[in-house]
Amino acid sequence: MQSFAAMSSDSRNVAVAGLAGAVAAIAGVFVLQAMSGKKKSKSTKFDREVQEQRAQTMGVVGRWTKPVVIAAPGLEEMAANLRKRLGCEEYSEAEGPTLSLERFKSNDPNLKFHWQRVIGRKIIFLFDTVDQSRLFEQLSLLQALQGFAVPDGDDNTTKWKSYVDQGKYSWGRASHVTVVLPWYRPCQMERTSRWSLQGGKWSNADSEGQWLDVPTAQVMARLLSTPGSVPPMPGPNASLDGMPLMPLWRPPLELLFLELHEEKPISHSVSDLGAKIRMVRFVPYFLDKYKAEPAYPGVARTYVLFPDHGAYLRYNDCVKQRLKLDPDHILFINKVRIGETTEQEQQLRYESKGKPDGKKDSFETGDEVVIVDDFTNSGGTLFGAVKLLQSMVGTGKPLRVTIYVTHLVATYDPKVVQSIKEKLTGLGSQCRFVTTNTIPSTTDLLRDHSQVEVLDVSNLIADVI
């Protein structure tokens, strides 16, 4: 085994923390026993397993600092790539899964996890918000990772029904939990608008509107940030992770959002719950990849177009930093939403000295345009932008266009994905579509198209973690 002196500073810190935690655990057990007046019970097989678990945690620092990646159904491929990148431990089929998401005949959740692989470990939880029928089970698992009871082995004689009343259980926890949200489904409902009902139709144009949206994006973020439960009374007889029981220690909880539509409302909405919020953009990663392509036309011939001014405000600085483009090469289209209706202005604009007064009316042979957005439901705005671009070049002059969108929502409908494929084909081979695998249920249906490239986000997640 590597000597303490030869360890990296991070590993030495982990080792010291583990030793301190073990001391705290022993002290915590003595305090609990003194308060309850319990006598130390005769050593059991379970007790020996606990001691071995603690010895492993303290002794094999390298092993126990490796993270454990778990994932909701649908995100298994991303999880497998992430495990490989992070060097996570692999378990054979005979050893069984770390996480089992089975269901009872009633279709209610029947969750199980391998507690010995979780205690004292950093957990990376790939959380799916697309399949809303699985939200409750994922939230339940998130709670359990922050604190769970492990019944004493001899309680199997009662079919695990008496450990709570007798306090015959130990308390386990992860050391840290990172919830990764590749796609945050409620992201568009981050604020409240005032609405009026006129002739049976909703409108948000009335300043006196008497109805309000429920900002579900904020509500969901609060549910994700809720601290784990407390041990049931009369309390556990041991702490399996070496961390305090009195006062109860909970593992740090972190939410990692990838290309969130609006960041500030979500971040602020959980500021009282103690969870750490991190927001990561994939657009810079894409722009670096685009610039490194052999066919990259260079600064003078490259234009970036945003389908609305909101996207321009989000990514303008990023484009300047990554591609070093001049202001008149960073374009946007004005878009106006009234109720359910969206209108796209047929004019390309750019900001000159902070004012949106510049206009772009034509392109030359050899120019290339990259359309950038965070997500799309139907692709209508993006394909409308391509048609506008194509109308600004002379007949027979090629204009290469790359559409990039991080999240391919496509209203979660295979028919919409098929429609996007058909529209893309109709735009010709000079137009390509680049997206990511944050919503596998849609992008898996798009992979076979010759004009499509699907990027894997697991490398960026690994870098951030």
Dump pLDDT digits (tens) for 275-311: 999 999 999 999 999 999 999 999 999 999 999 888 9
**465 lies in some domain:** no
Residues 349-364, mean pLDDT to the nearest whole number: 84
15 pLDDT higher than 90: no
Same domain, yes or no, for 246 and 291?
no
Quote the pLDDT of residue 23: 38
Same domain, yes or no, for 391 and 268?
no
Same domain, yes or no, for 276 and 347?
no
Measure Cα distances from 429 to 284, 295, 402, 425, 436 in Å.
Answer: 25, 15, 11, 7, 20
Same domain, yes or no, for 310 and 427?
yes
Per-residue tokens: 215: 């900002």
The model's pLDDT over 209-228, given as tens digits with 9 standing for 90+, comes to 999 999 999 999 999 999 99
User: Comparing 8-22, 386-400, 441-455, which segment has the lowest mean pLDDT?
Assistant: 8-22
Same domain, yes or no, for 276 and 390?
no
Domain count for the chain: 2
Quote the pLDDT of residue 2: 40
Q: Give the pairing type, strands 169-172 and 238-239.
A: parallel
Quote the pLDDT of residue 396: 65
| Residue 145 near residue 92 (C-beta atoms within 8 A) | no
The rounded percent of the chain whose pLDDT value lies above 70 is 84
Measure Cα distances from 275 to 133, 138, 178, 250, 278 in Å.
Answer: 25, 17, 10, 11, 10
18 pLDDT higher than 70: no
| DSSP label at residue 445 | T
Q: Which residues span the domain enclosing 290?
A: 283-456
Helices 309-323 and 283-291 cross at an angle (nearest 10°) of 50
Same domain, yes or no, for 248 and 397?
no
Q: Is 332 exposed, middle or buried (0-12, 13-18, 19+ CB in 10 A)?
A: buried
User: Is residue 8 left, alpha or beta, with left meaning phi > 0 and alpha meaning psi from -120 to 50?
Assistant: beta
Quote the pLDDT of residue 25: 39
Q: If pLDDT is split at 50, 70 and 90, which confidence band does 49 have? A: low
User: Among residues 254, 280, 306, which one ends one of the domains?
Assistant: 280
Same domain, yes or no, for 413 and 369?
yes
Same domain, yes or no, for 161 and 15?
yes
Quote the pLDDT of residue 338: 56
**461 lies in some domain:** no
Bridge partners of residue 335, in order along the sequence: 344
**196 lies in some domain:** no
Quote the pLDDT of residue 353: 74
Residues 183-211, mean pLDDT to the nearest whole number: 93
Quote the pLDDT of residue 66: 84
Give the length of the chain: 465
User: Comparing 39-43, 96-100, 301-305, 391-395, which segment has the lowest mean pLDDT?
Assistant: 39-43
**144 lies in some domain:** yes
Q: Average pLDDT of the chain?
A: 86
Same domain, yes or no, for 265 and 294?
no
**384 lies in some domain:** yes
Under DSSP, is residue 301 helix (H, G, I), strand (E, B) or coil?
Answer: helix
Cα Dmax for the chain: 91
Same domain, yes or no, for 271 and 346?
no
Quote the pLDDT of residue 168: 95
Q: What is the DSSP string of 165-225?
A: HHT-EEEE--SEEEEEESS-GGGG-SS--EEEEETTEEES--TT--EE---HHHHHHHHHT
Per-residue tokens: 347: 């004019």
Same domain, yes or no, for 269 and 316?
no
Q: If pLDDT is split at 50, 70 and 90, which confidence band does 44 have? A: low
Quote the pLDDT of residue 335: 74
54 pLDDT higher than 70: no
**Long-range CB contacts (within 8 A, 24+) of 409-417:** 409/183, 409/375, 409/376, 409/377, 409/439, 409/442, 410/376, 410/377, 410/378, 410/379, 410/439, 410/442, 411/377, 411/378, 412/130, 412/439, 412/441, 412/442, 414/445, 416/377, 416/378, 417/442, 417/445, 417/446
User: Among residues 280, 313, 333, which one ends one of the domains?
Assistant: 280
Dist. CA 354–CA 392, nearest whole Å: 25
| DSSP label at residue 449 | -
**4 lies in some domain:** no
Quote the pLDDT of residue 57: 45
Higher-confidence position of 46 and 206:
206
Dist. CA 446–CA 274, nearest whole Å: 39
102 pLDDT higher than 60: yes
Q: What is the DSSP string of 277-292?
A: EEEE-SHHHHHHHHHT
Residues 444-457, mean pLDDT to the nearest whole number: 96
Residues 193-222, mean pLDDT to the nearest whole number: 94
Peptide bond into 236 cis (omega under 30): no
Higher-confidence position of 338 and 405:
405
339 pLDDT higher than 90: no
User: Comparing 16-25, 131-140, 264-273, which segment has the lowest mean pLDDT?
Assistant: 16-25
User: Among residues 229, 247, 280, which one ends one of the domains?
Assistant: 280
Quote the pLDDT of residue 342: 66
**1 lies in some domain:** no
Quote the pLDDT of residue 262: 84
249 pLDDT higher than 90: yes
Quote the pLDDT of residue 330: 96
437 pLDDT higher than 50: yes
254 pLDDT higher than 80: yes
Residue 156 exposure: Cα atoms within 13 Å on the Cβ side: 5
Quote the pLDDT of residue 364: 87
167 pLDDT higher than 60: yes
**239 lies in some domain:** yes
Q: Give helix then strand counts, H and E, for the chain.
A: 14, 23
334 pLDDT higher than 60: yes
DSSP H or E stretch at residue 385: helix 380-390
Residues 87-115, mean pLDDT to the nearest whole number: 94
Under DSSP, is residue 408 helix (H, G, I), strand (E, B) or coil?
Answer: strand
Dist. CA 405–CA 130, nearest whole Å: 17
422 pLDDT higher than 60: yes
Under DSSP, is residue 417 helix (H, G, I), strand (E, B) or coil?
Answer: helix
Measure Cα distances from 12 to 8, 24, 258, 314 in Å.
Answer: 6, 18, 32, 41
Same domain, yes or no, for 301 and 256?
no
Specify the CATH number for the domain of residue 16. Answer: 3.40.50.2020
User: Comparing 199-213, 298-312, 338-352, which segment has the lowest mean pLDDT?
Assistant: 338-352
